[in-house]
Amino acid sequence: MKRRVIGFTLLEVIIVLALGAVIYAVVLAGPFAKASAADLKSAARSLASGLRTAQTTAMATRRDALLTLDMDSREYLATGEERTHKLPDNIDIKLYTAQAEVTSAKRGSIRFYPDGSSTGGRITVAAGERKYLVDVDWLTGRVSIDE
C-alpha cells in the first residue's frame, strides 16, 4: 500500500518565498521608498554648489544673482547656469528666505549681491527623521551644510 505524504516540498516553499520577496520589493516598497542618506547628502551638496555658483556669478558680473527654487517641481536654477537641476522626488524641501524673494507659496529665491553678501536663508532637505540644512549667511554669503 502506497502512503501519500501531505505537505509542501522544499522547492515549492522556496518559490513562494522568492515570489513574495519580489512582490514586496516591487509593489509595496516602490511607492513608499524613502530617500537614502546618500540621496539627501547629494541633494544638499547640489544645492550648496548652485548657491556658490550664484555667489560667484554675482561677484564676477557685478550684478545681483539668484538661486531660484521651485519646490513643486523640485528644480532649481542659479543665475549663470543654462539648465535647471532636478532634485529627487522622494525628499522634502523647505525654503526659508527674505519675504521679498518669495514669488509664490512654493517658489522663492536667495539673492547674492556683487560684494558677495546675500539676503541669507536656509534650504532644508529632509526624508523622515534625517535632514540636512543648507545655510546662507546674509553678511558674508558663506554657504554651509549642517546635519
pLDDT digits (tens, 9 = 90+) for 75-131: 999 998 889 999 998 899 999 999 999 999 999 999 999 999 999 999 999 988 899
The pLDDT value recorded for residue 116 is 94
Residue 22's pLDDT band, with cuts at 50, 70 and 90, is confident
Domain that holds residue 113: 37-146
Q: Which three cell numbers stand for residue 1?
A: 500500500
Which helix (H) or strand (E) segment is 50 a member of? Answer: helix 37-61
Asked if residue 10 is part of any domain, the answer here is no
Region 46-72: mean pLDDT is 95
Number of domains in the chain: 1
Instruction: In whole angstroms, give the CA distance from residue 133 to residue 91.
Output: 13
For residue 139, the domain's CATH number is 3.55.40.10
pLDDT score recorded for residue 11: 87
- Write down the pLDDT at residue 35: 67
Give the C-alpha distances (Å, rounded to integers) separating 146 from 4, 106, 118, 131: 66, 23, 19, 9
Is position 76 within any domain?
yes
> Is the pLDDT reported for residue 30 higher than 60?
no
Instruction: Judge whether 107 lies within some domain.
Output: yes
Compute the distance between CA of residue 82 and CA of residue 57 in angstroms, rounded to an integer.
Answer: 13
